[in-house]
Amino acid sequence: MKMTGSQILVECLKKEGVKTLFAYPGGVNLPIFDVLYDQKDINVVLCRHEQGGGHMAEGYARVTGKAGVVLVTSGPGATNTVTAIADAAMDSTPMIILTGQVPTQMIGNDAFQEADMVGITRPCTKYNILVKDVNDLAQAVKEAFYIATSGRPGPVLIDLPKDVVLAKAAFNYPESVYIRSYSPNFKGNKWQVKQAVQEILKAKKPVLYAGGGVLASDASKELRELAETAHIPVTNTLMGLGGFPGTHPLFLGMLGMHGTYSANMAIHNSDLIIAVGARFDDRVTGRVKDFAPNARIIHIDIDPTSIHKVITANIPIVGEAKTILKDLNQYLSASGNGVSGKCKPWHEQIAAWKKERPLSYDQGDETIKPQYVIDKIYEATRGEAIVATDVGQHQMWAAQFYKFDRPRTFLTSGGLGTMGYGLPAAIGAQMAAPEKMVFCIAGDGGIVMNIQELTTAVQYKLPIKIAIINNRYLGMVRQWQQLFYDKRYSSSFIGEQPNFVKLAEAFGLTGLLASKVGEVEPVLQEALSIKGPVLIDFRVDEEENCYPMVPAGAAINEMVFADPVGPRPAAEIQKAKKAGGILTA
Amino acid sequence: MQHIVSVLVENKFGALSRISGLFSGRGFNIESLSVGPTLDPDVSTMTIVTEGDDRIIEQITKQLNKLVDVIKVVDLTEQEYVERETALIKINTRSEDRAEALRIVDIFRARIIDSTPNTYTIEITGDVKRIDAIINLLRPLGIKNLIRTGRIAIARGEGRNASVRDIPERRSVSR
Ligand SMILES: Cc1cc2nc3c(=O)[nH]c(=O)nc-3n(C[C@H](O)[C@H](O)[C@H](O)COP(=O)(O)OP(=O)(O)OC[C@H]3O[C@@H](n4cnc5c(N)ncnc54)[C@H](O)[C@@H]3O)c2cc1C
Ligand SMILES: Cc1ncc(C[n+]2csc(CCOP(=O)(O)OP(=O)(O)O)c2C)c(N)n1
Ligand SMILES: [Mg+2]
């Protein structure tokens, strides 16, 4: 029996186990929407802007580990997804983007709502394809899901001309895929793994530096086993948070630009760094030439391009983190855990660092400190929420003060740093995990970048709680301007803002306000007692800064812990600017 | 250092721009790039001449390999290889220069493939040095147009190539 391209597409999605589709209709994808209208297996979620839809799919993917799927129309619908696609590419998030396209015979004619999506997204997708023949459609979809979710995950775009989704063909869903030019490497080289074991047995100051790859590989258990058997302290990247329990005694906190003192000191002074699914991002390494000067480096990563890209590894191991960690654990226990006493001074040193400069803030009895809000959200949710953040200071505070014990509970835009990510990602997360508590922690700047998605939350009765950390500034920008631009707050004051409580109400949510310390806890309790979505406007200290901070161009042991006292000498500002103190947040 | 990288790639729509886009997007250098079919009509070979230190060349080969459409990448510079380039050179020839032009063509064992009263078109194949040398000698006569193919290269003897004969056996991945 022959089916139309639209029917074939929907059948393919069902075969791939797609339960939720984030979508927005338009001219050329109406045939697909028409098919979706009659079926019950796929829940179609109407976003209110295609960028929002893209981030929802990312949130969904981050929580489930499966590819998030977006369906949009050609031209503007498709180009609106580009930021989310680039975001997914940077953070290795599996995603399928189905874009409508003008009919094949009109491609290249500047047809109405035509955009060359395959061209536009070539550098920010893992793969993309224009399907020109309905007979190739099923194969293309099968391959797209395989590519998006295997190896280093990423976004794959399928461009679907209108005539292709209307044309008919027999439907045969391929049982397996074979792509001769693509073979993600799964198993690590055993010999290298054995070398790594020798290094671990020798090391006196080892640290595990674990990133997003641990989550992608579902390897938290194996990571924990390695840390516990070999007694190695663990630090996470921003993308890796939740991959190791935040409350574990071996946990050092996040490392890098806004990492903890103990994590950065441990990395800087270590003699062996075991990097697992982490890519030595510049926010982590600081000044590369002074990164961990005395450490040997074991680098475990599924993507060969991650290895030796920034830092030369002594023992590179290409492969799936989970299998490699399993092998490591096996060899280590076979070698009788010869690790016992040798690292004692190292652990004492780390304990001293932890004590010397823990994360801290000074909560007085009037103005709310932003960190206090995160602390209280952590307490109110007993650390069990899925937290999606936006980008800025509040994001860093969330990373520092919410202790993530479980994988796939912290959703954030790390690589691209996309403001506007948080709210739609939270919506996608709640769609993926209806029974979980989902919190969005956003800034007053970023929340308005995809504020329209409040409607989506209301329409689907999603009980997400949105905490706006309202400092009336583009806080992260203001912090840099304070530190490196002599407090010249050029375009970073955003005190002219909507009444967020009324705005929430206008959208059909509950809006709540907290402007004094004493109001924080009751407001959170109230929010959690409400079944539907709630938005809370937390009016916090306007000029609180995020510390510790490794200034751009500094090594990661050169941390700053507090605001400089008095005006900064002009020479120092100049120096900071020269050192690369340009705004890259 | 200059490297010659041979790339076997699926002959698919957009594959060339994926590769050139990779070089521009990541700030890698391309000195020349030439593409042509192989024995298998679904596969093309690209020869890319690029420049960079070891770390950059390592990234280039890894990033190329990472592209889904790329089947195989070989850095020929790591082994013995032969390389060739062809140039078509059109020169102005007033009557007194024609003899000089013929002499140069002769010395380089090049060929004249088109001739009009005022022009010669010369074809030369060789390594880069040879082509640069003939260009230098012809320049005083007045070069009207110069087209070069870019370099192509192949491993010597049994060396490692990016050849369709080496395409891996079918490996089925089912889920
Ligand atoms: C305002 C701001 C401030 C920031 N400050 C910091 C900071 O202080 N500290 C910090 O850490 N980050 C910070 N970031 C985030 C930073 O930019 C990077 O996104 C982050 O450090 C990258 O994390 P990662 O190394 O875990 O890599 P990811 O981007 O998560 O990449 C994952 C790595 O794992 C590999 N991988 C994927 N799957 C597997 C698998 N199955 N097996 C093995 N390997 C796999 C991939 O190939 C890749 O190399 C900040 C971002 C913003 C926006
Ligand atoms: C789309 C986008 N535009 C600009 C930036 C640069 N940027 C990074 S943080 C930031 C400020 C964010 O302000 P806000 O949302 O209020 O959060 P805060 O830092 O105050 O917590 C800006 C403008 C960005 N990351 N993303
Ligand atoms: Mg703000």
Q: What is the pLDDT of residues B106-130, one digit of tens each?
A: 999 999 999 999 999 999 999 999 9
Handedness of CA A497, A499, A501, A504 (dihedral sign): negative
Q: Is A444 in the pocket of ligand 2 (CB under 6 A)?
A: yes
- Which of the listed residues A373, A477, A485, A545 should we mutate to test ligand 2's pocket, taking the one with most ligand atoms within 8 A of CB? A477
B39 CA: distance to closest CA in chain A (Å): 17
Spell out the alpha helix ranges (H) of A75-123. Answer: 76-79, 82-90, 117-120
What is the average pLDDT score of chain B?
92
Instruction: Give whole-number Cα distances, A447 to A72, A146, A371, A438, A490, in Å.
Output: 23, 34, 18, 16, 20
Q: 3-class DSSP state for residue A437?
A: coil
How far apart CA A231 and CA A224 sit, in angstroms, is 10
In this prediction, residue B13 carries a pLDDT of 86
Q: For testing the chain B interface, which of A12, A15, A124, A180 should be mutated: the one with the most B CBs within 10 Å? A: A180
Q: Of the residues A2, A112, A459, A487, which is catalytic?
A: A112
B38 phi, psi to nearest 5 deg: -115, -170
How far apart CA B47 and CA A297 sit, in angstroms, is 35
In this prediction, residue A575 carries a pLDDT of 61
Q: Is A477 in the pocket of ligand 2 (CB under 6 A)?
A: yes
Query: Strand order in A20-23's β-sheet?
Result: A43-46, A20-23, A68-72, A95-101, A155-161, A127-130
Q: Which residues on chain A are in Cβ contact (under 8 Å) with B174?
A: 175-177
Q: Tell me, in angstroms, the distance from the centre of ligand 2 to residue B117's CA.
A: 69
How far apart CA B154 and CA B76 sit, in angstroms, is 7
24-63 in chain B: CB under 8 A from chain A: 25, 55, 58-59, 62-63
What's the average model confidence in pLDDT over A342-354? 96
Q: B58-87 b/e with 16+ CB inside 10 Å = b?
A: bbbbbbbbbbbbbbbbbbbeeeebeeebbb
Q: Which residues on chain B are in Cβ contact (under 8 Å) with A177?
A: 173-175
| Side-chain half-sphere CA neighbours of A333 within 13 A | 11
What residue of B is the nearest CA neighbor of A307? B59
In this prediction, residue A364 carries a pLDDT of 94
Q: Which residue has the tokens 């074939």?
A: A8
Run of H or E residues at A379: helix A370-380
How far apart CA A219 and CA A198 sit, in angstroms, is 22
Contact criterion met (CB below 8 Å) for A24 and A79: no
Handedness of CA A389, A392, A396, A397 (dihedral sign): negative
Share of chain A above pLDDT 70, in %: 96
What's the average model confidence in pLDDT over B14-21? 93
What residue of A is the nearest CA neighbor of B60? A305
Give the ligand at the shortest distance from the Cα of A393.
Answer: 2
Run of H or E residues at B45: strand B43-51
Q: Write down the pTM of the prediction.
A: 0.95
| Res. A567 pLDDT band, cuts 50 70 90 | low
How far apart CA B155 and CA B158 sit, in angstroms, is 7
Give the ligand at the shortest distance from the Cα of A441.
Answer: 2
For residue A564, count other CB atoms closer than 10 A to its CB: 11
Q: Is A414 in the pocket of ligand 2 (CB under 6 A)?
A: no
**Of B41, B5, B43, whose CA–CA distance to B22 is shortest?**
B5
Q: For testing the chain B interface, which of A181, A185, A310 should be mutated: the one with the most B CBs within 10 Å? A: A181
Please tell me which residue, A232 or A187, carries the higher pLDDT value.
Answer: A232
In this prediction, residue A570 carries a pLDDT of 56
**pLDDT above 50: residue A306:** yes
**pLDDT above 90: residue A334:** no
**pLDDT above 70: residue A226:** yes
**Of A166, A141, A133, A157, whose CA–CA distance to A29 is shortest?**
A166
Give yes or no: A431 in active site.
no
Q: Which residue has the tokens 């075969």?
A: A15
State the Cα torsion A360-A63-A81-A152 to the nearest 10°: 100
Instruction: Give whole-number Cα distances, B155 to B8, B10, B130, in Å.
Output: 14, 21, 20
Q: Which residues on chain B are in Cβ contact (under 8 Å) with A147?
A: 68
Give yes or no: A171 in active site.
no
A178 CA: distance to closest CA in chain B (Å): 5
Q: Tell me, in angstroms, the distance from the centre of ligand 3 to residue A234's CA.
A: 31
In this prediction, residue A573 carries a pLDDT of 53
- Which of the listed residues A83, A193, A283, A413 should we mutate to test ligand 1's pocket, taking the one with most ligand atoms within 8 A of CB? A283
Q: Which two tokens stand for residue B111?
A: 């060929």
How far apart CA A167 and CA A169 sit, in angstroms, is 7
In this prediction, residue A585 carries a pLDDT of 35
The residue whose CA is least distant from atom 6 of ligand 2 is A585
Contact criterion met (CB below 8 Å) for B39 and B112: no
Give yes or no: A507 in active site.
no
Contact criterion met (CB below 8 Å) for B159 and B81: yes
Query: Strand order in A438-443's β-sheet?
Result: A410-411, A386-389, A438-443, A465-470, A534-539, A510-514
In this prediction, residue A566 carries a pLDDT of 63
| Res. A186 pLDDT band, cuts 50 70 90 | confident
List all residues 6 or more positions away from A399 whose beta carbon is below 8 Å from its beta carbon: A238, A241, A254, A258, A389, A410, A412
State the Cα torsion A71-A146-A239-A282 to the nearest 10°: -100
State the Cα torsion B3-B6-B10-B13 to the nearest 10°: 50
Q: Reduced to 3 DSSP states, what percent helix, strand and coil does chain A have, rounded to the nearest 5? A: 40, 20, 40
Give yes or no: A162 in active site.
yes
Residue A76: cis peptide before it, omega within 30 degrees of 0: no
Taking the Cβ of residue A176 and every Cβ of chain B, the question of whether any pair is shorter than 8 Å is answered with: yes
Q: Which residues on chain B are in Cβ contact (under 8 Å) with A127?
A: 68
**Of A536, A532, A573, whose CA–CA distance to A551 is shortest?**
A573
Share of chain B above pLDDT 70, in %: 95
A175 contacts B25? CB cut-off 8 A = no
Q: Of the residues A3, A437, A449, A476, which is catalytic?
A: A476
Q: Is A418 in the pocket of ligand 2 (CB under 6 A)?
A: yes
| Side-chain half-sphere CA neighbours of A554 within 13 A | 18
How far apart CA B106 and CA B117 sit, in angstroms, is 19
In this prediction, residue A547 carries a pLDDT of 97
ipTM of the complex: 0.90
Residue type, B104: I
Angle of the A370-380 helix axis to the A393-401 helix axis, nearest 10: 40
Is beta strand B119-126 parallel, antiparallel or unpaired with respect to B111-116? antiparallel
Q: What angle do CA A544, A421, A259 make, to 5 degrees?
A: 45
**Of B29, B46, B64, whose CA–CA distance to B150 is shortest?**
B46
Residues near ligand 1 (Cβ within 6 A): A 91-92, 152, 211-213, 216-217, 237-240, 254-259, 277-279, 281, 283-284, 301-303, 306, 320-321, 391, 395-396, 414-415, 417, 476, 585
Instruction: Give whole-number Cα distances, A288 to A311, A317, A438, B30, B143, in Å.
Output: 8, 21, 37, 27, 49
A305 contacts B62? CB cut-off 8 A = yes
Taking the Cβ of residue A147 and every Cβ of chain B, the question of whether any pair is shorter than 8 Å is answered with: yes
Question: Tens digits of per-residue pLDDT, B62-92?
Answer: 999 999 999 999 999 999 999 999 999 999 9
What's the average model confidence in pLDDT over A68-80? 98
- Which of the listed residues A257, A328, A396, A469 should we mutate to test ligand 1's pocket, taking the one with most ligand atoms within 8 A of CB? A257
* Most distant CA pair in chain A, distance: 79
Q: 3-class DSSP state for residue B152?
A: strand
Q: Tell me, in angstroms, the distance from the centre of ligand 1 to residue A239's CA.
A: 5
Q: What string of DSSP letters covers A493-508? A: B--S---HHHHHHHHT
In this prediction, residue A578 carries a pLDDT of 59
The number of the ligand 2 atom at minimal distance from the alpha carbon of A394 is: 21
- Which of the listed residues A239, A262, A291, A556 should we mutate to test ligand 1's pocket, taking the one with most ligand atoms within 8 A of CB? A239
Q: What string of DSSP letters covers A264-298? A: HHHHHH-SEEEEES----HHHHBSGGGSSTT-EEE
Taking the Cβ of residue B69 and every Cβ of chain A, the question of whether any pair is shorter than 8 Å is answered with: yes
**pLDDT above 50: residue A584:** no
Run of H or E residues at A519: helix A517-529
B168 contacts A183? CB cut-off 8 A = yes
| Res. A579 pLDDT band, cuts 50 70 90 | low
Question: Tens digits of per-residue pLDDT, A239-267?
Answer: 999 999 999 999 999 999 999 999 999 99
Taking the Cβ of residue B165 and every Cβ of chain A, the question of whether any pair is shorter than 8 Å is answered with: no
Q: Tell me, in angstroms, the distance from the centre of ligand 3 to residue A442's CA.
A: 8
Angle of the A475-484 helix axis to the A570-578 helix axis, nearest 10: 120
For residue A517, count other CB atoms closer than 10 A to its CB: 17
| Res. B159 pLDDT band, cuts 50 70 90 | confident
Residue type, A457: A
Contact criterion met (CB below 8 Å) for A267 and A555: no
What's the average model confidence in pLDDT over B28-41? 94
In this prediction, residue A577 carries a pLDDT of 55
Angle of the A422-432 helix axis to the A50-64 helix axis, nearest 10: 50
Taking the Cβ of residue B129 and every Cβ of chain A, the question of whether any pair is shorter than 8 Å is answered with: no
**pLDDT above 60: residue A271:** yes
What residue of A is the nearest CA neighbor of B12? A129
**Of A299, A294, A292, whose CA–CA distance to A313 is shortest?**
A299
Give yes or no: A2 in active site.
no
Taking the Cβ of residue A122 and every Cβ of chain B, the question of whether any pair is shorter than 8 Å is answered with: yes
A181 contacts B68? CB cut-off 8 A = yes
In this prediction, residue A521 carries a pLDDT of 98
Handedness of CA A496, A497, A499, A503 (dihedral sign): positive
Angle of the B15-25 helix axis to the B54-66 helix axis, nearest 10: 150
